Each structure stands twice: as structure tokens, then as C-alpha cells.
Amino acid sequence: MDRRTLLAGVGTVAATAASTFPAPAIAQGIRELKMVTSWSKNFPGLGTSAERLARLITQNSGGRLQVKVFPAGELVDAFEVFDAVSAGLADMYHTAEYYWIDRSPAFGFFAAVPFGLTPNEMFVWVHHGGGQELWDELSAGFNIKSILCTNTGVQMGGWFAKEITSPESYKGLRFRMPGLGGKVIERLGATVITLPAGEIVPALESGALDAAEYVGPWNDLDLGLYKAAKFYYYPGFHEPGTGDVVGINKELWDGFSTEEQQVIETAAAAEYSYSLATFNANNRIALKTLINEHGVKLRKFDDSILRALHKLSDDVVAEIATSDPLTQRVYDSFSKFRKSIMTWTDLSERAFLNARSL
């Protein structure tokens, strides 16, 4: 999913001038905290996750931390949340870190990597594999403390007007696939076209696009992609479990009591369970609707395509690693962990899922 373009229609409200932001209000021991987000109001899955996280923090602090959510465009635009929190103009953000790869390519590893980690594996890397320490080092350079709090689950591979059968099928394909996934399919000869979400269906219908990727069944049904392309491919190799984050102004974070920090960390870990379950619950239902009511044809990418995509993905990610020493260290940690957890996941989750579907 490209949330930049997804939200392009939202971000026209000018950011409130910096000087008009009050510092966190302190009245009778109650602290009001502004959470700015990269999501439109009630955007299913991600907007609702930010809202639930805010409620969890507010409730679990006994109301001492009152978190108020601002959808994209209300206080600042979708892609101004990083700078706003960094500067202390807002208190916290809910976003995906891959929006900040222009600050450092290392941020991408804390959101989604093609052929990378599943949602459960990502939580292990961050909490047990050295991920959080590297993330702290990275974010501290921008005066931010980041905590993993949301996951979309495995995404889908995209909507295609015609079936594709081999890596060669990508040659000349006009494909809306942003981010690292787009860089990968370009190496197969596809032409990557960037469009806001609202323009995808018309572009597919007019033939300006041959294929497009968005999120998963829940959001894709909502956007109406099935109206313009019938072949729905899986798996979503490019975003196998996209993590989202609550980022807190670091001076504010450092000033919190241990108890306040624990309330936020606990709420984030709880929201990881809640958000992932919400995506999977709704994707399960939406998938049925797409197939039974809209005649969508599911297709698995051919193994020859997946092998080619995997090889190119590894190349693209390894090239990013060379950007700077910290990104290289994040890549090294991520890659070493991925190799190690794959051995266990293959024997446990993967082997069980395959056995169950024999």
C-alpha cells in the first residue's frame, strides 16, 4: 500500500502554525497528549488502531494521560507527523516508519521489507532480537522514541486485469506498486505508476493501469478494486506483515514516570494483538464477499515468479543497507534474525499450516 498517495487527497488542509501548538496541558495532574496520525478519520484498520491505542493509554493511565487523536490534515498533514513530533509540536504519532526513509533508509526495516518478517516474527526481532535497541538509536537522532504497536498482517499481491504466468509477464506491465515492491518489479521490466488510491479504479478501467496493489481484502473491497480487475493475486511478498508505530517526542518520553512509560508500552503490546486480529477478522469476511458476491478470481503467483521476486528483493534491500553505517547495522541485525527465525517458523507455523491444508 502506498499511504503517501492514499492520503494525497487528505493532506490539503494547511498545517497549523507551529507557535499555535500548546505544550502538553497540565491541569490537576492530568496531561493532555496530542496524537497526530498519517490516517484519515476512521480509516479501517489503521485509523481505528490509532483510536483504540489512544483509548487504551487513556484508560490504563486512569485518565492521567488523556490522548486525543488527530486524523491526517487536522493538526498537521499525513506526512508532517514525524517533524511535528520531533519538534515537540505534537506529542506522539501513529504512522508507518517507511514513510521516513528519506530521513534514513533504516526506518523501512521497522515497517515492511519484501520477503521479510511476518507480524509475529517482527515482534520477536524488536523485543528479543536487538531491533528495539537499534530503533532507539535511529529515532533518538530525531528526538523520537518509537514503539511497535500495530500490524496489518500479510497483505495481498495485487489486482491484475490479465493472468500472469512467469517473470516475463511483468515486462511492460503498468503497475501501481509503490515502495520497495515497486523497485523490485521494475527490475522485471514493469513500469511503476504512482496514483492516489481514489484514482486506481478509473485507471484500471481505462486501461491506463494493468495492475495495482493496495492492502488486503478488507481495504481493497472498500475501495472497489474488484470492479476494475478480476484476478486477485497472493501472497503479498512486498509487505508480509507491515508494522505501525507510536512515536513519542523523546524529551516528553524521558520526562514520563516509569509507570507512565509502562502504561504506553503495555497499551502498544496489547494493540499489537488487537490490530492484527482486527485485520485478520475483517480480511477473512471481505475475502468471502469478494469471491462469492463479486466473482473475483484468486490466483497464486507462480513459483517461478516468486523465486525471481525473492532474488530481486534481496538485491534491492541489500543495496539500501549500504546507504550509511546505521542502516547497514539495522540490515545486518534484521538479516541475521530473519535467517535464524525462519528455521523455527518453517518447522512450526509453516509446517503446521501446510499439514492442516493437506
Residues 260-279 contacting a second copy, CB under 8 A: 262-263, 266-274, 276-278
Q: Match 547497514 to its residue by C-alpha cell.
A: 328
- Say how far apart CA 191 and CA 33 lie, in whole Å: 43
Q: How far is the CB of 326 from a second copy (least distance, A)?
A: 24
- At how many degrees (to 10) do helices 131-140 and 325-345 cross? 160
Q: How far is the CB of 261 from a second copy (least distance, A)?
A: 10
Nearer to a second copy, 71 or 167 (CB): 167
Is 303 an interacting residue with respect to a second copy (CB under 8 A)? yes
- Say how far apart CA 125 and CA 334 lie, in whole Å: 7
Nearer to a second copy, 11 or 129 (CB): 129
Is 310 an interacting residue with respect to a second copy (CB under 8 A)? yes
Amino acid identity at 80: E
**Residue 213: closest CA among 183, 189, 242, 238:** 238
Is 30 an interacting residue with respect to a second copy (CB under 8 A)? no
**Residue 57: closest CA among 276, 243, 265:** 265
Q: How far is the CB of 169 from a second copy (least distance, A)?
A: 17
Nearer to a second copy, 71 or 116 (CB): 116
Nearer to a second copy, 103 or 310 (CB): 310
Q: How far is the CB of 77 from a second copy (least distance, A)?
A: 31
Is 318 an interacting residue with respect to a second copy (CB under 8 A)? no
Is 166 an interacting residue with respect to a second copy (CB under 8 A)? no
Q: Match 540490515 to its residue by C-alpha cell.
A: 331
Nearer to a second copy, 74 or 265 (CB): 265
Binders of a second copy among residues 131 to 160 (CB under 8 A) are 153-156
Is 356 an interacting residue with respect to a second copy (CB under 8 A)? yes
Helix (H) or strand (E) holding 320: helix 303-321
Q: How far is the CB of 37 from a second copy (least distance, A)?
A: 20
- Say how far apart CA 93 and CA 50 lie, in whole Å: 9
Q: How far is the CB of 149 from a second copy (least distance, A)?
A: 10
Cell numbers standing for residue 277: 486480529
Binders of a second copy among residues 88 to 117 (CB under 8 A) are 115
Strand order in the sheet with 191-192: 191-192, 174-176, 211-212, 158-160, 231-234, 297-300
Is 336 an interacting residue with respect to a second copy (CB under 8 A)? no
- Say how far apart CA 176 and CA 263 lie, in whole Å: 40
Binders of a second copy among residues 37 to 76 (CB under 8 A) are 56, 59-60, 62
Q: Which listed residue (11, 47, 129, 243) binds a second copy by CB under 8 A?
A: 129
3 state SS of 193: coil
Amino acid identity at 286: A
CA 166 vs CA 44, 229, 298: distances in Å: 34, 19, 16
* Count of residues that bind a second copy according to CB under 8 A: 73
Is 253 an interacting residue with respect to a second copy (CB under 8 A)? no
Binders of a second copy among residues 172 to 231 (CB under 8 A) are 216-217
- At how many degrees (to 10) do helices 325-345 and 303-321 cross? 150
Q: How far is the CB of 190 from a second copy (least distance, A)?
A: 18
Is 307 an interacting residue with respect to a second copy (CB under 8 A)? yes
